[in-house]
Amino acid sequence: MDLRLNEEQQIIIETVRKFVQKEVMPVASRLEHADEYPHALVERLKEMGLFGATIPEEYGGMGLDMVTYSLVVEEICRGWMSLSGVLNTHLIMAYVVRAYGTEEQKRRWLPKMATGEKRGGLALSEPDAGSDVQAIRATAVRDGERYLVNGVKMWITNGRHGNTFLLLAKTDSGAKPRHAGISAFIVEKGEKGFTVSRDIKKLGYKGIETCELVFENYPIPAGGLVGGKEGRGFEMVMDGLETGRINVAARAVGVLRAAFEDSIRYAQIRRTFGKPIAEHQLIQSKLSLMATDLEASRLLVLNAAMKKDRGERCDLEGGMAKLFATQACAKHTLEAIHIHGGYGYTTEFDVERYFRDAPLMTVGEGTNEIQQLVIARNLLKKYAI
């Protein structure tokens, strides 16, 4: 893989790296353990233009390609994985609006999303519909020049502090196949019938709210139907989630990198039996496997990102990157605790946070079991007899 970053890309990544080192790392542990929303850091993300990272320049964004954005996500997650969650669902929504919205919708929403004035999220999953998106029950019924939405959405990142969402709902409950009856809408807080009912407590991924949203006869102007056409919501979201899977895989690379860098540093300082533990063969084995999987994970992410940048579907490559990188992250964050010994089990070191954050990425944007099905389906197409 011939990946040569130009000067602009290098400057962007270095700027994010310095921001993470100087402003994120010193406060990440305190905010995470307090489960406190990082208002000041989010404002800095706005100032740096990262809410518009992948939004085209013509709409006020930075217009970053997926390769550069993936490397930016890695840098952020090296410091604190939760912080990237503020951007990920926001930019998936922006991608869908850009790829499928009417020109009027693009002009209305994307510039405000680029500045962070409109902070987006995805209202897709429901209590009984996660990986099986077609099983959603939320409905949007046409009522003159508006739609009335009823239903419950679950696991919504940015649900409390966000203000604009991409909502998936059924406009034709009897459609066959099921996905043909699903439509996508742009919805805003403000009208009656839209309630953030509760925050969901989590093992990790703390500091960023994950909420349940309830819609009761919530009115959406007909102009909020993405693309102005019913029945295309499933297609739009599946395309958007390709970028989400690349993002989640890049997050895993960032957390795995943090675990590796902390571990190899600690292994050279901690001494047992008269020498640094880095000189013990078993510790060397752990470090070598960790570094190898880190490198392989990053290359898989970049490969998927490059294909997306070429305008090609990357279900296979994105699924592989997400599966491998998140499994490697889950495996090696536990190994990082073992390398740190008893200290690794305490909150004095960050490796316990990496370990708690890792499982999110094995289930987020489609569980790893679903990724295996996606990979297999695409392999059978690619190698069909």
With beta carbons less than 8 A apart as the criterion, state whether 31 and 86 touch. Answer: no
Q: Report the alpha-carbon distance of residue 89 to residue 96 in Å, rounded.
A: 11
Pairing type for strands 164-170 and 275-276 reads unpaired
133: how many CB neighbours lie within 10 A of its CB? 20
With beta carbons less than 8 A apart as the criterion, state whether 256 and 294 touch. Answer: yes
With beta carbons less than 8 A apart as the criterion, state whether 309 and 300 touch. Answer: no
Q: Which two tokens stand for residue 146?
A: 């508006």
Tell me if residue 74 is catalytic.
Answer: no
Q: Report the alpha-carbon distance of residue 323 to residue 301 in Å, rounded.
A: 10
327: how many CB neighbours lie within 10 A of its CB? 18
One-letter identity of residue 279: E
Computed on alpha carbons and rounded to an integer, the radius of gyration of the chain in Å comes to: 21
Long-range interactions of 277-282: CB distance < 8 A, separation 24+: 277/339
331: how many CB neighbours lie within 10 A of its CB? 16
- Integer angstrom CA distances of residue 275 from 83, 260, 279, 287, 338: 38, 20, 7, 17, 18
Given 191, 352, 365, 369, the catalytic residue: 365
What single-letter DSSP state applies at residue 308?
Answer: H
Surface-to-core class of residue 258, CB atoms within 10 Å of its CB (0-12 exposed, 13-18 middle, 19+ buried): buried
Q: Report the alpha-carbon distance of residue 331 to residue 368 in Å, rounded.
A: 14
Catalytic residues, which ones?
A: 365
